[in-house]
Amino acid sequence: VEQVGRITKCGDAMVRALLYEAANVMMTRCRADNWLKSWALKVARRHGARKAKVALARRLAVVMHRMWVDGTDFFMERPASTTV
């Protein structure tokens, strides 16, 4: 049975907690404007801050995984090849 709208508890609990904390800091304390933060703020306007932080934490994990696999750097501007 597939549940829509829920986050699983799979994986390391510490990694999940740190990703959520990074998302929280990015949304609340980070003054620099970047494409991830602006995306998360749009999600927060539609669905609330807590869901936006979870969504941003997941997106941070995906971005960091791609950086690790490809060996690419993070850019503050949204890459032209990313489609979301």
**Backbone φ and ψ of 76, nearest 5°:** -65, -30
pLDDT tens string 17-62: 999 999 999 999 988 888 899 999 999 999 999 999 999 999 999 9
What one-letter code names the amino acid at 58?
Answer: R
Q: Which of 71, 75, 80, 8 is nearest to 57 (CA)?
A: 8
Structure tokens belonging to residue 16: 């999940």
Round to whole Å and give the CA distance between 74 and 54: 20
**79/12: higher pLDDT:** 12
pTM over 0.85: no
**82/45: higher pLDDT:** 45
If one counts every other C-beta atom within 10 angstroms of the C-beta of residue 57, the result is 23
